[in-house]
Amino acid sequence: MHEMSIIKGIIGIIGKEMKKSKLKKLHAVKIKVGELTAVEPETLRFCFEASIKDTPWEGARLEIEDVPLTGKCRDCHTKFRFHNFVSICPVCRGRAIEKLTGTELDLVSIDAV
Ligand SMILES: [Zn+2]
pLDDT at 1 over 80: no
Task: Give 33 Cα–ligand 1 centroid separation in angstroms.
Answer: 26
Task: Give 64 Cα–ligand 1 centroid separation in angstroms.
Answer: 31
Q: Say if 83 falls within a structural domain.
A: no
Q: Say if 79 falls within a structural domain.
A: no
Task: Give 75 Cα–ligand 1 centroid separation in angstroms.
Answer: 5
CATH code of residue 40: 3.30.2320.50
pLDDT at 83: 85
Please, where are the H alpha helices in the chain?
2-20, 41-52
- Residue 87 CA to residue 85 CA, distance in Å, equals 6
Q: Say if 33 falls within a structural domain.
A: yes
Q: How many domains does the chain have?
A: 1
Edge-first strand order for the sheet with 79-81 is: 79-81, 70-73, 97-101
Query: For the CA atoms of 39, 88, 68, 38, what is the dihedral angle to 10 degrees?
Result: 0
Q: Say if 86 falls within a structural domain.
A: no
> The domain containing residue 56 runs over which residues?
2-68+102-112
Q: Say if 93 falls within a structural domain.
A: no
pLDDT at 6: 94
Report pLDDT digits (tens) over 49-93: 999 999 999 999 999 999 999 999 999 999 999 988 888 999 999
Share the mean pLDDT of the chain: 94
